[in-house]
Structure 1
Amino acid sequence: MTTGVPQGLGAAPGRSSSPSTTRRLAAAGALLAVAAAVVLAVIGLLSDPLRLVATVVLIGIAVAVGWAALVHRGVIRVVAIVVAVLCIVGVVLLFGFGDPLRTVSVFVLVGLALAATRVAMGHDLAPVPADLHRVGPARHGVLLINPRSGDGKAERCGLERHATTCGVRPVVLAPGEDVQELAERAIADGADVIGMAGGDGSQALVADVARRHDVPFVVVPAGTRNHFALDLGLDRDDVPGALAAFGPAVERRVDVAEIGDRLFVNNASLGVYASIVQSAGYREAKVATAARLAPDLLGARRRRVGLRFRGADGKQAAPVDVMLVSNGAYRMEGLTGAGTRPRLDSGELGVVTVAVESAFDATRMLAAGAAGLLHRFHGYRQWSTPELVVDSDEPELEVGVDGEALRLPVPLRFRALPGALRVRLPTTATAAPAALGPAGPAEAVAGLVRVLGGRSPRR
C-alpha cells in the first residue's frame, strides 16, 4: 500500500495554497462578468421599471395559483392552472417586448462568470479526506448485480461482461434472492472486496454486510438516481467505469446511518414525501401520483402526520409537513444546490424540516431558495446531530428510506455511524458536486476576491 492522494479527488500532491496566474485571471474575468451583468440588468430595470413591477407581480400570482392548483381538486384546480399558464405567458411576453440583446447579454455574462469561477476555484473548496490512501487491486473481487435496477441499466451497458474482463466475479440476482445473503456468502467464500451494482436501497443492504465484516465496498451506479455514488464523486453516466475501483484504486472511510437496525446511506424521509412514496402507482407515475395526493397532504383540511421530536435547541418542535434525516448534511441553502452533500465524514446526521402553511408561504420559500437564502424561510429548519428520536401517536410511521417505502414502528431512533464503511473509489473520482462549488453568491464573490489576491478561496 502506498500513501498519496490522486489528482481526481481534488487533493493532488503538491497542490499549492497560492493560485496560479491562470486561476487568478479567471477570477478577475468572473468578477468583471458579474459586474457587467449587474450593470446591464440595473440599466434595463431603470429604463423600464413598470416592466419589472409587472414581471414580479405575475410571477407572484403564478406561484400563488400554482399552490392552489396543487392543494385543490376539480374546478378550482383547473382555473388555477389556466391562470398560472397565462401568468407565465405574460412574463415571457414582457421579456420579449423588452431589449432582447440586453437580456441575452446578461445570460451570456452569467454563464461566462460561472465557467470562470469553476476554473478560478478549482477543487480547493472540497474537503480532503484525512484517511484517503492508495490501495492495490482486489485479489478476489465480487460484484453483485441487480438486473432490474435502473430499468435494466446493468444489462444495457454489458456490466456482467465488463466485470469478468476486469477479473471480478459477477453475481446476478435472480428474482426473490436475498442480496444480503449473497453478500454474506461471497465474503465467507473469500471475497476481499465486494461491490453492488444497483440503486441506493440495494447499495445500503450490501454496504451493511461490508461494514459488519470490515470489507472494502465498491459502489457501481446502476440504479435510477444513485445519490450515494454522486456524493462519492463517481460519474453516474459511466457505469462500467466504476469497476476501476476493483483495480489499483483509493480507499477512504465514510459515514453511514441507522434507523433502528436498518442501515441507510442517503436519507430517510417522513411526512408528505414519505406518504407519496408509499402510494400505489408512485413508481410508474411519480408526478401524477403526487398531484393526486397533494390536496389531502397539503390542502387546508390536511391532517398532518404527528411527528414528535426535539429541534436543534433541544425543545419540542412545532408540527412540520416534511422531515428529512440524512447521512451527513445536505447543502440546502439554495434550490440549485439541494440534493448533494459536501462531505460524507462529518460523523453526524443532517436534519431538515419544512412547514408550509399557505400559497404566500410557498412564494416566500421559492424566493428564498432562488436567492440562496432558503435558511431564512420561516418554515425551514436545518441542523446536525449524532442521534435523533422521532415519536408519534401513531403505532407506525410511513418512512422512505433510500427510496424504499417502509412502515416502521415508533419511536424511530436515528444514529450516525462515523467512518463505519470502507469505500474503494477509482482514481478518477472527484469530490461531491456540493463540495466543488461555493454555497451561495456571497461565498462565490468572496472566494473569487481571495483567489484574485493570490490566496486560496477557502476562508
Structure 2
Amino acid sequence: MADNEESPRPSVTRRVCAALALVAALAALGTAIGALARHPVQLVIAVVLVLIAVGAAWAALVGRGARRVFAGVLALVALAGILLLPDLRAFLLMIVVIALCAASGALARIAFAHDLAPDRAGVRVPPARRGVLLINTRSGGGKAARFRLESRARSRGVVPMVLTPGDDLRALAEQAVAAGADVLGMAGGDGSQALVADVARRHGIPFVCVPAGTRNHFALDLGLDRDYVPAALDAFGTAYERRVDLATVDDRVFVNNASLGVYATVVQSPGYRDAKVATIAQRLPELLGPEAVRPDLRFSRPGRGEQPGADVVLVSNGVYRLDHINGFGTRERLDAGRLGIVTVTVDRARDVPALVSAELAGRLHEFHGYRAWTGTEFVVDSGQALVEIGVDGEALRLPPPLRFRILSGALRVRVPLDAPGAAPAALVPHGVFGAVSALFLVLTGRPAHRPNQEEHQAG
C-alpha cells in the first residue's frame, strides 16, 4: 500500500465549512417546516402545480397528436396557476430551501476533503524505460493539440504516435509493443482508452490514461486531473502502479459501461454526439411514448429467474453511483471484481412523469422501476438478429446472446504521484445520516470516517 498514513486533523477552513453546511441544512429544514406551518394550503398547491407542470411537459414531449397538444396546454395552465397564487411567498420559500440544500452540499464537500477516500492501493514504480503515447488529436475537440501533448511527451522522453485518418489504433498499439514499449499510454476518449488498455493487458505491460477526450469517466474514477490534461503524462515518470478491473462484452473490452435498450437506440441516432439533448428529445416520443414497443431484451436475475425485459439495461465495469439514465455516474472502486448491472422498466401509461422527475433530480435510483445488482457474468439474449448497444459511448450492433464478464485486476495502470487519487463517489458518504455524522467529526477536529476495505466490499 502507498499513502497509508493517518489523515491529518481538519483545518480551520474545513471545520468552518462543516459548521456552515450543518447550519444551511438546518436552515433549509426550518424554512420548509415554517413555510408549511404558515402557508400549508398554498405550499401544497404550489408543489402539486409544479409536479403537474413537469409531468405534463414530459407527456407533451413523448406524446403525439392531440395528446401532445393537450399535455402542452396543461403544462402552461399549471405554470400560470403558480404565478396566480395569491401569495407567492410559499413558492419562493421552496426556491430558498433548494438554494440552502445546494449550499449545504457544496460546503460539505469542502469539509470532507479526501478523508473518506480509501487508502491508495499500489506500489511506487520507477520511470518508464521506453514509454509510448498514442494520441488522437480529434478527441475532445482537439485537446491534444491545445495542450501540446506531442511536444510535452517528447520533453519527458516519451515516444508520441499521432493517429491520422484511417489508422488502425489497435495495430499501432501492437506495433509500439513490438518495438519495445514497456509502458503504453493513450490520449483520447474512453473508447480509445479501452482498446489500448486491452493491448497493454494482453502483453502484461502498464497502461497510462491521458484524459484528452470529451468526458473521460475512466480517468475521473482513476482519480486523475481531467482539467489539466498534461498532468497525466507524469505517470510515465516515477508513479504509483495498481491493478484495476476491465469488463468485456463478448471479446470487446470496455472501461466504463455498456448500455442496451432506449439509451443505446438514442446513441445510434445521427447527430447524437454533436447534439445529445436535442437528439434525446427528438427520439423519446417513439422510444418511451404510449405506443412504443419495449426492447426485446431477455436476462435473468440471481434468485429471480428470467425477467420479462426492460427499457434500459446498463452493465458497468464496477458499481456506479448512478444518477442519470445515460449510465454515467462515478465509481468508488475499480478493483472490486464485480460488474454493476442496472435495469430500468417504465410503465408507459403512468411512469414517464416519475421517471423524468427522478432523472432531472439526479436520483434515478429512487425510481420504482429501477433494479440493481452485481455479478461476475451476465447474459442478455434477444430475438433480434442484431442488438443495438452503446459501449463506452460508441454505437454498435452485435449478435445475441451478449455475454458480459469482469476481468478482475486485469490491467496494470500507472497514475502520477500527485494525482488527486480518488473518484468523486469515494469522497461522499452514503446517506443523510452518514453525511451528518461525518460533518460532526470534522467540526470536532477529527477526520471524517474513512470506510475500511470490508465496508467497500459490502457496498
Q: Same-fold call, TM > 0.5?
A: yes
C-alpha RMSD over aligned residues: 3.0
Equivalent residues of 2:255, 2:317 under 8 A apart: yes
In the other structure, the counterpart of 1:127 is 118
Which deviates more, 312-321 or 93-102? 93-102
Does residue 136 of structure 2 align to residue 146 of structure 1? Answer: yes
Q: Which moved more, 1:338-347 or 1:33-42?
A: 33-42
CA 1:396–1:112 in 2, change beyond 3 Å: closer, same or farther? closer
Query: After alignment, is 205-214 or 351-360 more displaced?
Result: 351-360
Secondary structure of 1:425's counterpart equals: strand
Indicate whether 1:171 and 2:161 are aligned. yes
Which string of whole-angstrom CA distances, capped at 9 and with x for unpartnered residues, describes residues 194-220 of structure 1? 111111111110000001111111111
Find the counterpart in structure 2 of residue 289 from structure 1: 279
| Conservation of the 8 A alpha-carbon contact between 1:335 and 1:370 | no
AA paired with 2:185?
G
Question: How much has 1:295 moved relative to structure 2?
Answer: 1.9
**Letter of the aligned partner of 1:411 in structure 2?**
P
Q: Is the 8 A contact 1:252 1:423 kept in 2?
A: yes
Deviation of the 1:127 alpha carbon: 2.3
What's the secondary structure of 1:127's corresponding residue? coil
1:362 aligned partner: 352
Return closer, same or farther for 1:202/1:429 CA change in 2, 3 Å cut-off: same
Match for 2:336 among 342, 346, 357? 346
Counterparts of 1:307-456 in structure 2, within 5 Å, are: 307-332=297-322, 339-358=329-348, 360-365=350-355, 374-430=364-420, 431-452=422-443, 454=446, 456=448
SS in 1 for 2:45: helix
After alignment, is 93-102 or 435-444 more displaced?
Answer: 93-102
Which whole-Å CA distance do the structure 1 matches of 2:305 and 2:49 have between them?
A: 40
The match for 1:457 is 449
Q: CA deviation at 1:227?
A: 1.0
Q: 1:335 to 1:93 in 2, by over 3 A?
A: farther
Aligned residue for 2:6?
Answer: 14
Distance 1:77 1:372 in 2: 25
Task: Tell me the CA shift for residue 133 of structure 1.
Answer: 2.0
Task: Give the match for residue 455 of structure 2.
Answer: none
Q: Tell me the SS of whatever aligns to 2:116.
A: coil
Shift of 1:75: 5.1
Say if 2:49 is the partner of 1:51.
no
The alpha-carbon distance between structure 1 residues 76 and 370, as it changes in their structure 2 partners (threshold 3 A), is: closer
The Cα of 1:458 is off from its aligned counterpart by: 4.2
Deviation of 1:309 after TM superposition, in Å, equals 0.6
Deviations 1:359-415 (A, max 9, x none): 642343455678886544321101110100111111221110011111111111100
Counterpart pick for 1:209 among 188, 199, 218: 199
Residue segments in structure 2 that go unaligned for 5+ positions in a row? 452-459
The range that moved more, 56-65 or 282-291, is 282-291
3-state SS of 1:381 partner: strand
**Farther-moved stretch of structure 1 (52-61 vs 418-427):** 52-61
Runs of 4+ in 1 over 3 A off after TM superposition: 18-29, 73-97, 99-112, 333-338, 362-376, 449-456
Matched-pair contact (CA < 8 Å) for 1:451–1:457: no
Question: Counterpart of 2:250 in structure 1: which amino acid?
Answer: G
Equivalent pairs counted in the alignment come to 449
Q: Give 1:184 deviation, angstroms.
A: 0.8
Residues 142-177 of structure 1 show CA distances to partners (whole Å, capped at 9, x for unaligned) of: 110111112222122222122122221111111111
Match for residue 61 of structure 1?
A: 52
Normalized against structure 1, the TM-score is what?
0.88
Distance 2:247 2:338 in 1: 9
Tell me the residue number matched to 1:8: none
Residue 32 of structure 1 deviates from its aligned partner by 3.0
Q: Are the structure 2 counterparts of residues 359 and 231 from structure 1 closer, same or farther at C-alpha, using a change threshold of 3 Å? A: farther
The alpha-carbon deviation at position 443 of structure 1 amounts to 2.5
Deviates more, 1:314-323 or 1:260-269: 314-323
Structure 2 residue 239 is the aligned partner of structure 1 residue 223: no
Equivalent residue of 1:324, what SS?
Answer: strand
Which moves more between the two structures, 175-184 or 242-251?
Answer: 242-251
Q: Residue type matched to 1:364 in 2?
A: A
Q: Hey, what's the Cα distance between the residues in 2 that align with 1:283 and 1:224?
A: 10
Corresponding residue for 1:200?
190
Q: For 1:34 and 1:143, how far apart are their aligned partners in 2?
A: 47
For 1:380 and 1:208, the matched residues in 2 are separated by 31
C-alpha contact (below 8 Å) 2:288/2:352 kept by paired residues: no
Partner of 1:191: 181
- What is the Cα deviation at residue 187 of structure 1? 1.0
Instruction: From the superposition, tell whether residues 107 and 325 of structure 1 become closer, same or farther in structure 2 (CA, over 3 Å).
Output: closer
Code of the residue aligned with 2:64 in structure 1: it is: R
For each residue in 1:272-315, what CA deviation from the matched residue of structure 2 results, as whole angstroms up to 9, or x when unmatched?
01111112332333233322322221122212221111124341
Q: Give the 3 Å change call, closer, same or farther, for CA 59–335 of structure 1 in structure 2.
A: farther
Letter in structure 1 aligned against 2:7:
R
Q: Please say if residues 63 and 362 of structure 1, whose CA atoms lie closer than 8 Å, have aligned partners that are also in contact.
A: no
How far 1:66 moved relative to its partner?
A: 2.3
Please tell me whether the aligned partners of residues 62 and 285 of structure 2 are also in contact (alpha carbons under 8 angstroms): yes
| Letter matched to residue 223 of structure 1 | G
